[in-house]
Amino acid sequence: MWGGVCATFSQHDLRCWDTTWYAYALQAEYCWGDPQRPLAAELDRFTDAFAATFYGARGPDTAQVIASAYRELDAAKSELERNNYLIRDIIGEYDIHDASYVDNTLEASIGLIDQMAAHPKGPGKTLADIRRRAENALHVSASFRQKLAGAAAQVQNTYSLHYLVSAAHKMENHTQRTLLLLDMADAFQRRAAAEDAAARQALRPVFAELRKRCEVLQGDTRLIADEMDELAHGAVGKLIWEGAGTDKVSVATAADTTGYHKVLASLTGFQERLRQAADPGQP
């Protein structure tokens, strides 16, 4: 009797919980069918069938939106991984051995961006390439977040669709973070190169705008952090928080299995740096 094992480890959790059923189903399709079929010839058909069946799509248009989300979000995720190999801005990985995903910090990412600005690495490995990939992933993820949310009334499996929407949300949040890092690094480089006080003064509106973007990103990241805390800890987490007699955020930060609280701590530090650059005279 033929069988198989499907490892669903991901380099990161951008696509979100529950979407790994797709990989299990694809593994079963090949183990219990003809394992020699070329994947490229089968994948689109399989994805279409999975989207219609697993989510209980009530019409072909809805099934096609979901299938397209799997294809395009996965391609965008791969682009974000390409960026991570250059600036290491994927945070919160603890179960893989690839050094590019371990112990990352956003502060270190800015340092890598500064190095790339001074020493470009060649085609596909420039800051312009990172920005292009991030902007494309932002467009794809924001578009599918809206489309998938609009399809909720047209599926039976709304529970799983929620996680697919969450996957798009997390990717959108990540790309906004990447673009903020790029723009912050550029602004601080320009400030360091400013020749006089007037030139630095002219940059203050730039830092004020970056501070607003950072604040919006903080709020959005908190929403994701709360959702991930509930998934990671659930009822057990509630007992820990209540028993500790402290607040949810501090306990979650101490056992940050998703990386989002680490991101929030970095964004708080960035806010202070941006505040000082925008209003150097304010305490």
User: What range does the domain containing 220 cover?
Assistant: 200-283
pLDDT at position 115: 97
Buried b (16+ CB within 10 A) or exposed e, 13-27: bbbbebbeebeebbb
Residue 205 burial (CB count, 10 A): 10
Residue 2 lies in a domain: no
User: Is there a single domain that holds both residue 140 and residue 162?
Assistant: yes
Same domain, 20 and 92: yes
Q: Looking at residue 250, what is its pLDDT? A: 52
Comparison of pLDDT for 234 and 182, the residue scoring more: 182
> Of all residues in the chain, what percent are helix, strand and coil, respectively (each to 5)?
75, 0, 25
Within a domain: 7: no
Amino acid (1-letter code) at residue 193: A
- CA-CA-CA-CA torsion for 23, 87, 103, 178, nearest 10 degrees? -70
Check residue 178 and give its pLDDT: 98
The domain boundary residue, chosen from 174, 193, 212: 193
Q: What percent of the chain has pLDDT over 90?
A: 65
45, 170: one domain: yes
Of the residues 193, 224, 243, which one is the last residue of a structural domain?
A: 193
- Kindly state whether residues 44 and 64 are assigned to the same domain: yes
Q: How far apart are CA 185 and CA 119, in angstroms?
A: 14
Tell me: do 77 and 125 sit in the same domain: yes
List pLDDT tens digits, range 145-182: 999 999 999 999 999 999 999 999 999 999 999 999 99
Tens of pLDDT, residues 29-59: 888 888 889 999 899 999 999 999 999 999 9
Residue 236 domain flag: yes
Above 90 in pLDDT, residue 229?
no
Provide mean pLDDT across the span 269-281.
Answer: 91
Per-residue pLDDT at 24: 85
pLDDT of residue 21: 87
Q: What is the number of residues in the chain?
A: 283
Distance of CA 60 to the CA centre of its chain: 29
**Considering the chain, what percentage of its residues have pLDDT values greater than 70?**
83
- The label of the residue with tokens 């961006």 reads 113
| Averaged pLDDT of the chain | 87
Residue that is last in its domain, among 167, 193, 219 = 193
- DSSP category for residue 155: B
8 is a domain residue: no
The backbone torsions φ and ψ at residue 155, rounded to the nearest 5 degrees and listed phi first, read: -130, 155
Q: Between residues 280 and 80, which one has the greater pLDDT?
A: 80
Radius of gyration (C-alpha) of the chain in whole angstroms: 21
Range of weakest confidence among 15-19, 116-120, 248-252:
248-252
Count Cβ atoms within 10 A of the Cβ of residue 84 and give its class: 0-12 exposed, 13-18 middle, 19 or more buried.
buried
User: What are the contacts of 237-242 at 24+ separation with CB within 8 A?
Assistant: none
- Local confidence band at 101 (pLDDT 50, 70, 90 cut-offs): confident
Q: How many Cβ atoms are within 10 Å of 121's Cβ, its own excluded? A: 12
1: in domain: no
Domain assignment present for 35:
no
What pLDDT, in 10s, does the model give residues 179-194?
Answer: 999 999 999 999 999 9
- Based on the fold, state whether residues 158 and 282 are members of the same structural domain: no
**222 inside domain:** yes
- Which residue has better confidence, 160 or 92? 160
pLDDT band at 236 (very low <50, low <70, confident <90, very high): very low
Judge if 20 and 130 occupy the same domain: yes
**Do residues 45 and 169 both lie within one domain?**
yes
- What separation in angstroms does the CA of 76 have from each of 71, 80, 138? 9, 6, 9
Which residue's entry shows tokens 């979100």?
16
In three-state secondary structure terms, 57 is strand
State the Cα torsion 256-270-176-13 to the nearest 10°: -10
In a shared domain, residues 95 and 218: no
* Whether residue 186 sits in one domain with residue 108: yes
- pLDDT at position 155 is 98
**67 and 96 inside one domain:** yes
Q: What average pLDDT does this structure show over 81-88?
A: 95
- Give the number of domains in the chain: 2
Distance CA 80, CA 88 (A): 10
pLDDT band at 11 (very low <50, low <70, confident <90, very high): very low
For residue 3, is it within any domain?
no
- Same domain for 129 and 208: no
Query: Would the pLDDT of 105 be above 50?
Result: yes
